Each structure stands twice: as structure tokens, then as C-alpha cells.
Structure 1
Amino acid sequence: MTEIPDIKAFNADIAAEFRANGGKVGGPFEGADLLLLTTTGAKSGEPRLSPLAYFTVDGKMIVVGSFAGADVDPAWVHNLRKHARAHIEVGTADYDVIARELPHAERDEIYPKLVEQAPVFGEYQSKTSRVIPLFELERV
């Protein structure tokens, strides 16, 4: 697993490329719909930046707490569970959002639709026994 300082540097590099190119990046995220999510740290209270793929499913902006199928949730999931208000950058726009974790029934309905758009998320779910959480981000 990648060490925390490596994740911070990776995220900072992606964010710089995203901002320099109107929301587009290359590498492993080339062609993906990407956003920059700024949460409030659950423990630190400090701003935390996470570049994430997002999906539009049934008219909802959805982000996936997959952590590539790791057995733990990514830090941003813990942050949103404690502080639902966040800020996103999408393309050249930025605005505040309220995050809502989808309840299990709704999550189970939407997850297959998400896998249709990005099959890798089916692989991630099969790698872990935890239920990968989905969050809807709604503009405030």
C-alpha cells in the first residue's frame, strides 16, 4: 500500500495538473470524469484534498469509496462521515456540496449501474469483504 506522504504528493500533482488544464488530467485518470474534493479532516479539522473519479447515475453525482479494493475506507470517507459539508472543483467550476452516504438499499441499486460505466469498480468490490460506500454530492 502507498505510504501517506506518497498519497499526498500524488494528490497534489493530480490537483496541479487538473487546475492547469481546466479539469483534465492524463495518466491513469485520462478520459475519466474527475473532481477535486476538499473535505475537513475528521481528526485534524484541516482541509484535505482528494482527486476522485465521479459518476452521474440517475441524475446524481456519485463518488466511490473504493480505495482500489483495500480492506479499509479511504480517509475522505471518514472525513465526509464526520463533516458532510465539502467543496469540489469540477472542470473550471467550484462550489460547496453536502455529501450523503447512500443507504445500503440505494447503494445496492446504484452500484451495478456504476460498474457498467467503469467495470474496475466491480473488481474492487470483489477484492474486499467491506461494502464499498457510495456518496452523493449535492450542490449547496
Structure 2
Amino acid sequence: MSHEPIDSPTTWVADHVKKYVESGGAHGHLFHGAPTLLITTTGRRSGLPRRTALIYGRDGERYLVVASNGGAADHPLWFHNLLSQPRVRVQVGADVFDAVARPATSDERPRMWEIMAGIWPHYTGYQRKAAREIPVVVIERAAPSRALDELDEQA
């Protein structure tokens, strides 16, 4: 991702991201009491880096985020992007790293959903109104270069 990321077109999200980035994660890490991270995906059509802020949880060393889109009928664009290109850049507080993101498996999802609904109870309401199963996304820090090379070979 060599270009400067394009931030969310949603004004309040873009403002949140700007505050997060400019402060090195000191401001904006907590959003209404919930921890947030920044994720940069690669646009599946444009090939350009796209950045947004998401509430996260932890499952051991892995990070979890929810592709809720506020309970809308469609998945958020960032989710479609990572399905196309699972290599992402993540910022958690001041820590910036490359990672690999994937939807939780059907076996993983129930337990991970409970973790995330415990952090942000609104997810339960979003799921009730959505006409789709809202995905939980697992983000794992990329191993130095081997994991990324393997992903390139699979693409």
C-alpha cells in the first residue's frame, strides 16, 4: 500500500480516523467506551488503500471486528475489499502492523460474536434488523514476510 489511504466518506468516521492518526492513537482509540482500531484495505476495484475505524475485541493474539454496517442489508465495502485482498494494514493505538483478515468460520463465529456483542451490545440489534448474517472478521498479525509471500502465491 504505497499511496496515502483514502478515509471513510462518512464525515464522523473520517474525523475519528484523523484524530486517531494525528495523535498516534492517543486520541480516538476509545469510542463511547469501546476500543477501536484502524484498518486499511485495498479497494477491490480501484486498488487504492481505504481506511476506516472499527470497534475491536481480542481472541488471544487475534483481533476481531464485526462487518455490521449498522445492520444494513449489505456488507460494508471494507469487508468486500478484504474478501478480495486479505492483506490489510492495522493500527491499534500507536502500534501499526501488516495483517491478514478473514471471516470467522461457522464454527468460530458464535463464540466470537459473543465476545463482540459483549463489547458493543448494539451488534445484537443490528443482527436482528439485518437480512443477512453479520460476519465477524478475524485479523492476525502477518508473519514478517513468509505469510505475505504465501498469500501472493495464492492470489
| Cα contact 1:99–1:138 (8 A) shared by 2 | yes
In structure 2, what is the equivalent of residue 55 of structure 1?
57
Q: What's the % identity of the aligned pairs?
A: 34
Structure 1 residue ranges, 4+ long, deviating more than 6 angstroms after superposition: none
Greater share of helix residues, 1 or 2?
1
Name which of 20, 25, 28 aligns with 2:28: 25
Name which of 97, 102, 105 aligns with 1:103: 105
| Cα contact 1:33–1:53 (8 A) shared by 2 | yes
| Cα contact 1:57–1:114 (8 A) shared by 2 | no
| Cα contact 1:11–1:49 (8 A) shared by 2 | no
Return the offset for 1:59. 4.6
User: Alpha-carbon deviations, 1:31-83, whole Å to 9, x = none?
Assistant: 32111111000111111011111111355310100011111000000000000
Return the offset for 1:85. 0.2
Residues 11, 113 of structure 1: alpha-carbon distance in 2 compared, 3 angstrom cutoff: closer
Count of residue pairs brought into register by the alignment = 134
| CA distance in 2 between partners of 1:46 and 1:20 (Å) | 21
Coordinate RMSD, CA, aligned: 2.0
User: Alpha-carbon deviations, 1:78-114, whole Å to 9, x = none?
Assistant: 0000000000111111010000211122112321232
For residue 77 of structure 1, give the secondary structure of its aligned residue in structure 2: helix
Scaled by the length of structure 2, the TM-score of the pair is: 0.78
Code of the aligned partner of 1:118: W
| CA distance in 2 between partners of 1:104 and 1:95 (Å) | 27
Code of the aligned partner of 1:38: T
